[in-house]
Amino acid sequence: MSADKQPVALTAGIIRTDRTMADGRTIRYYDDGVVARTAVDQRQVDAMPGIGDLRLDPLVNEWVIVASHRQGRAFLPPKELCPLCPTHDNLASEIPESSYQVAVFDNRTPALTAPHEDFRHGVITGFDTPDVPAAGKCEVVCYTDQHEGSFGELSLHQIRMVMEAWRDRTRELSTLSYIEQVFPFENRGEEVGVTLNHPHGQIYAYSFITPRTQNMLDVAEAHLKKTGRVLMDDIVARELKDELRIVAQNSEWVAYVPYASRYPFEIHVAPRRSVPDLAELDDVAADAFPEIAKEVMQRLDGVFGIQMAYIGAWHQAPVRTGRDALRAHWQITSVRRAPGKLKYLAGSESAMNAFVMDMKPEQSAGQLRDVKLK
């Protein structure tokens, strides 16, 4: 069941090489040209955790992932024990090679796990819908082999390679029969519970459509039916027309604080041409992404002159449905509202999903625009 394969050429001269880890997981190296990736994972094999459950919350018909096997995962290890650094003399990390460019490996303690062959999707039958296995895939996307730094500090070329990894993973994960939605994201900062400081993101590939995406899909399909138009196209057009909340733009991308943002600093970055997901993004748009991504990140960190904690989330259409109605975009939300002050999800947000925004989105966009770029 080895994953070792011949290297595959992607776009922009990027080569992917798959290798099998000691416990059978796969690691994928994304390199700028052909680089020999032959290092062998020498670690002892630990037992892999089992698969969790999906339980239906009958109050709202939403699946909850019960992953009780994950309690023991790594929690802010010291730098010299970082599992995302390359392997070196004193450390056998998750990445067997002694250096890498971008690497994506299967998460060792995944919330979602590849199921057995006889897996069937959960079907909501009512308030006592039975559990189903928490099928899916969880992957870790290492942005660089340098432990210090952040996504926004990567070179333009390095961000382009990360984008290629996102596109490639979206494309491949979409072919798996048990996957309904692919979600690349990044949590940055201890304020949002980050347990490893090494610059990295994650991919969750779900075997169900997530509640938020289902809501977006319902609204977008109703809009499409009523107007014949893609909702996000109309939203982006309004943001461009209003101008007030635009944060950055280039020939291929628009970044704005949305009209009804929920967080003090929330930025949506949308490609100018509608695509349902990153797999369908064309090379021109992929090539223009690093520039706007770096600018947005610099503006975010520049507002208070500190590294902002954020969640960077790629909204994508589900794999098998709604692909004519939903449009990919990158949503960055920060919980910081001032130096030393966080936006907490308290009663109204947490229990009622009714958000209270303490500043006007136009003010937030103005502060982001006012940042002087280096």
The residue among 53 and 291 lying less far from a second copy, judged by its C-beta, is 53
Distance of CA 187 to the CA centre of its chain: 8
- Reading the block at residue 266, the tokens are 């929330």
3-class secondary structure, 216: helix
Kindly tell me which residue out of 313, 317, 365, 368 binds a second copy, with binding defined by CB under 8 A: 313
Residue (of 316, 211, 315) closest to 267 by Cα position:
315
Alpha-helical regions (H) of 112-260:
156-173, 211-227, 231-242
Task: Indicate which residue of 69, 198, 200, 329 is catalytic.
Answer: 200
**Amino acid at residue number 78:** P
- Reading the block at residue 164, the tokens are 């290629």
The residue among 216 and 368 lying less far from a second copy, judged by its C-beta, is 216
Q: Please state at what angle helix 283-302 crosses helix 156-173, rounded to 10 degrees.
A: 120
* Interactions with a second copy, residue window 185-214 (CB under 8 A): 185-187, 192-194, 202, 204, 206, 208, 210-213
Kindly tell me which residue out of 361, 365, 367, 368 binds a second copy, with binding defined by CB under 8 A: 361
Residue 22 exposure: Cα atoms within 13 Å on the Cβ side: 14
At 366, give phi and psi (nearest 5°).
-60, -45
74 forms part of the interface with a second copy (CB under 8 A): no
- Min. distance of Cβ 210 from a second copy in angstroms? 4
Cβ burial of 1 (10 Å; 0-12, 13-18, 19+) is exposed
User: CA–CA separation, 85 vs 73, rounded Å?
Assistant: 17
The residue among 226 and 372 lying less far from a second copy, judged by its C-beta, is 226
Active site residue 198: no
User: CA–CA separation, 23 vs 19, rounded Å?
Assistant: 12
- Min. distance of Cβ 287 from a second copy in angstroms? 26
Q: State the residue for tokens 């059978």.
A: 24
The residue among 91 and 355 lying less far from a second copy, judged by its C-beta, is 355
- Min. distance of Cβ 186 from a second copy in angstroms? 7
Residues β-bridged to residue 205: 137, 182
Judged by CB under 8 A, which stretch of 22-30, 157-165, 285-293, 360-368 contacts a second copy?
A: 360-368
The residue among 225 and 374 lying less far from a second copy, judged by its C-beta, is 225
- Min. distance of Cβ 253 from a second copy in angstroms? 18
Instruction: Return the ∠ at Cα 307 (arms to 306 and 312), rounded to 5°.
Output: 140
Interface mask toward a second copy for 221-250; x: CB under 8 A = --x--xx---xx-xx--x------------
- Min. distance of Cβ 114 from a second copy in angstroms? 17
Judged by CB under 8 A, which stretch of 55-63, 78-86, 114-122, 287-295 contacts a second copy?
A: 55-63
Residue 170 exposure: Cα atoms within 13 Å on the Cβ side: 26
User: CA–CA separation, 84 vs 18, rounded Å?
Assistant: 17
* Interactions with a second copy, residue window 91-130 (CB under 8 A): 111, 126-128
Kindly tell me which residue out of 43, 147, 262, 323 binds a second copy, with binding defined by CB under 8 A: 262
- Min. distance of Cβ 347 from a second copy in angstroms? 4
* Interactions with a second copy, residue window 318-357 (CB under 8 A): 331, 333, 341-348, 350-357
Instruction: Answer for the pair 35, 25: CB distance below 8 angstroms, yes or no.
Output: no
- Min. distance of Cβ 230 from a second copy in angstroms? 11
- Reading the block at residue 90, the tokens are 């004193």
Interface mask toward a second copy for 126-165; x: CB under 8 A = xxx-------------------------------------
The 10 Å Cβ neighbour count of residue 235 is 19
The residue among 100 and 204 lying less far from a second copy, judged by its C-beta, is 204
Kindly tell me which residue out of 99, 215, 250, 251 binds a second copy, with binding defined by CB under 8 A: 215
User: CA–CA separation, 181 vs 314, rounded Å?
Assistant: 11
Kindly tell me which residue out of 177, 259, 273, 320 binds a second copy, with binding defined by CB under 8 A: 259
Active-site residue set: 200
